[in-house]
Amino acid sequence: MPYVKIYLHTVWTTKSRQKLMAKEIRQQIFDHILENAKKKGIHIIEINGYLEHVHCIISLKQDQNISTVKNLIKGESSYWIKIKISLSTQNSGGRMSILQYQSVNLSCQM
């Protein structure tokens, strides 16, 4: 059996790079992403981020592909945020802003 080790660094941002992930909320999101990834057999080596973005270092197995892994992590966490966490904040126009991810993200193999 061949030995395959692929590391992926992926970054995604909140929609319009809105600064909606306060430190307390960010840690809840990271914990959920780690738990969900583990259930799906995805090995996240490191996760971090700031107010408007998330970084993940992922170790891919030989039967996993980049697109599917990213979509499972990003898509499920976005759904979880909308359902479980109320991340609504008032913006300057008085409307509600809800945390959403940008549709474009960056990934590179290491």
Give me the CATH number covering residue 84: 3.30.70.1290
User: pTM score, two decimals?
Assistant: 0.76
Residue 82, in any domain of the structure: yes
The pLDDT assigned to 87 comes to: 47
Residue 59, in any domain of the structure: yes
Residue 1, in any domain of the structure: no
Residue 12, in any domain of the structure: yes
Cα 58 to the center of its chain, rounded Å: 11
The pLDDT assigned to 79 comes to: 83
Residue 104, in any domain of the structure: yes
Phi, psi for residue 72 in degrees, rounded to 5: -65, -45
The pLDDT assigned to 109 comes to: 52
The number of domains in the chain is: 1
Q: Which residues form the domain of 16?
A: 6-109
CB atoms within 10 A of CB 73: 23
Residue 42, in any domain of the structure: yes
* pLDDT, one tens digit for every residue, the chain (110 residues): 577 788 989 888 887 888 888 888 889 999 999 999 999 999 999 999 998 889 999 999 888 988 899 888 988 888 888 777 654 444 444 444 555 565 555 555 55
The pLDDT assigned to 31 comes to: 95
Residue 45, in any domain of the structure: yes
CA distance 99 to 58: 23
